[in-house]
Amino acid sequence: MVEAVMEEHFIIRNLGRLSREGRLDLSMDSHLPQANHLGPVPHVFVSNAAFPLRRDLMRPYPGRNLTERRQVFSYRLSRARRTVEKAFGIMASQWRFSRRVLGISMKMLR
């Protein structure tokens, strides 16, 4: 269990570092379905307001005195982030057995 947590922590830290340094190999910009008029758009991570705004990172608008359009955008982006977090939580609980060392001897596997 400790190994899995440490490995997960390392992967997340490594992903953040690569992203900050611009060395994360994301897919090329592409057109959104039924929105060719927007042109190619980058692939992004959805975050909360604690993270800086970068080309590969979307976050809600800061502050309280926002226009209605910005409030709606921030709400929808936050909702998308929560949906992704819940989906990952569900997947993690379904695959919980893979986060621990299985107590099976090599003899049993043969």
Kindly state whether residue 109 falls inside one of the protein's structural domains: no
Kindly state whether residue 26 falls inside one of the protein's structural domains: no
Whether residue 2 is predicted with pLDDT greater than 60 in this model: the reply is no
Domain count for the chain: 1
Closest by CA to 26, choosing from 46, 43, 45, 47, is: 43
Residues 29-84: tens digit of each pLDDT: 888 899 889 899 888 888 888 888 788 888 899 888 999 999 999 999 999 999 98
Maximum pairwise Cα distance, the chain: 66
Kindly state whether residue 63 falls inside one of the protein's structural domains: yes
Domain span holding position 95: 2-19+37-103
Distance between terminal CA atoms of the chain?
25
Kindly state whether residue 94 falls inside one of the protein's structural domains: yes
Give me Rg for the CA atoms of the chain: 19
SS3 assignment, position 95:
coil
Q: pTM higher than 0.75, yes or no?
A: no
d(CA 10, CA 95): 19
Kindly state whether residue 46 falls inside one of the protein's structural domains: yes
Kindly state whether residue 29 falls inside one of the protein's structural domains: no
